[in-house]
């Protein structure tokens, strides 16, 4: 059995969770043993489920440290990880270890934070992955392809859990305009 790493990145509302759930459901249809993990701090919709903005969901295990996956996923064919940007740099080594041991690892997460800066372990993960998919949202201001998560709220924390009330998907142009208005 050969393992590898797939990464799905994009802004908020770009369909990362939808795409992750799609791939995992297909693996289940193929009778693969699948486990899904997410950071314990992400409790926006549900403590245990991974839920997309269009309300599809899949049961997951909330964890605090990436190392927990090495124990919990020992018998898996496929491991899915959502909101991966919230984990620390050890996520990269753990994903490599899982893949080296024959697991197909599918990671979804934000590539950029609300300032347009690379987010947490995602850049390093993109570097080591065999397959990289960048999905796009629709800019809520002009309808172009959106790659940025624009924060409407004033907080300067890198982690501010929120929804359409605090963030909107924007293209490069409308993101820059919004930053200048702040
Ligand atoms: P992500 O995990 O990347 O935040 P989800 O998979 O949870 O995204 O949600 C994707 C869904 O969000 C889309 O299928 C669509 O129904 C909805 N959506 C809401 N706002 C937007 C937007 N601005 N652009 C694209 N999709 C949007
Ligand atoms: Mg998501």
- 57-76 pLDDT tens trace: 888 999 999 999 999 998 99
Find residue 161's DSSP bridge partners.
none
Closest ligand 1 atom to the C-alpha of 19?
6
Whole-number Å distance, alpha carbon 111 to ligand 1 midpoint, is 15
Residue at 145 is within a domain: no
Residue at 70 is within a domain: yes
CATH number at residue 24: 3.40.50.300
- pLDDT for 161: 67
- 33-55 pLDDT tens trace: 999 999 998 666 566 778 888 87
Residue at 130 is within a domain: yes
Burial class (CB in 10 A: 0-12, 13-18, 19+), 166: middle
Residue at 111 is within a domain: yes
Whether 35 is catalytic is no
Domain ranges, residue 124? 4-136
Residue at 52 is within a domain: yes
Catalytic-labelled residue, pool 48, 83, 93, 168: 83
* 98 three-state secondary structure: helix
83 is in an annotated binding site: yes
Among all ligands shown, which has an atom nearest to the Cα of 18? Answer: 1
Whether pTM exceeds 0.80: yes
- What residue spans of the chain are helical by DSSP H? 16-29, 68-72, 90-100, 122-128, 172-181
Residue at 147 is within a domain: no
Parallel, antiparallel, or unpaired: how do β-strands 78-81 and 104-110 relate?
Answer: parallel
Residue at 92 is within a domain: yes
Please count the structural domains in the chain: 1
Residue at 26 is within a domain: yes
């Amino acid at each position: 059995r050969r393992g590898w790493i797939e990464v799905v990145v994009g802004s908020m509302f770009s369909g990362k969770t939808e795409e992750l759930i799609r791939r995992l459901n297909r693996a289940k249809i193929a009778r693969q043993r699948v486990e899904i993990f997410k950071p314990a701090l992400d409790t926006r919709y549900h403590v245990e489920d991974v839920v997309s903005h269009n309300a599809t969901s899949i049961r997951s295990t909330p964890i605090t440290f990436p190392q927990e996956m090495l124990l919990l996923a020992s018998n898996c064919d496929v491991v899915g990880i959502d909101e991966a940007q919230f984990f620390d740099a050890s996520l990269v080594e753990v994903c490599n270890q899982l893949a080296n041991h024959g697991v197909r690892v599918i990671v979804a997460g934000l590539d950029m934070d609300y300032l347009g800066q690379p987010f947490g372990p995602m850049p390093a993960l993109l570097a080591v992955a065999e397959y990289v998919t960048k999905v796009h949202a629709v800019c809520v201001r002009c309808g172009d392809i959106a790659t940025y998560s624009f924060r409407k709220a004033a907080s300067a924390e890198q982690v501010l859990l929120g929804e359409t009330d605090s963030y909107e998907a924007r293209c490069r142009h409308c993101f820059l305009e919004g930053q200048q208005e702040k």
